[in-house]
Amino acid sequence: MAASRTLSLDEVNETNRPVAGPVGELPDTVDAAIIGAGPVGLMAANLLGAEGISALIIEQNALTSDQPKAVIVDDEHMRLIDRMGLMEAARAHLTATYFGIHFYFRLVSSL
């Protein structure tokens, strides 16, 4: 599947802002507890829910991170997203970005 468009580095940085997540009431019991609301934890909760297994996601951070998590989404990830019935919802948010390594330097000391 082709991405909808290519983003500039400035556009990628603009989308990378922390946001607050939902906070719900704690249930009395759950079948599974998932520690961490990163890409893997969120997908695990979706997969368990699809099988009728209740899950509670426990995340220590009140805000999302401004650091990348799932930097690369490959064909296996896309198949899993499609299997969960999330492809159409995800399609509008898919973009292609130029992959690269960025170095941030700061002078610590000099002679």
Q: Are 48 and 32 in contact (CB under 8 A)?
A: yes
Its sign, for the CA torsion 90, 91, 93, 94, is positive
The residues facing 63 across adjacent strands are 20
| Per-domain residue ranges of the chain | 9-91
The reported pTM is 0.60
Q: How confident is the model at residue 93 (pLDDT cuts 50, 70, 90)?
A: confident
pLDDT digits (tens, 9 = 90+) for 33-61: 999 988 889 889 989 998 999 999 998 88
Q: How far apart are CA 36 and CA 105, in angstroms?
A: 30
Instruction: Indicate the pLDDT class of residue 1, thresholds 50, 70 and 90.
Output: very low
State the distance between the two ends of the chain, measured CA to CA, in whole angstroms.
Answer: 53
Give Dmax over CA atoms of the chain in angstroms. Answer: 64
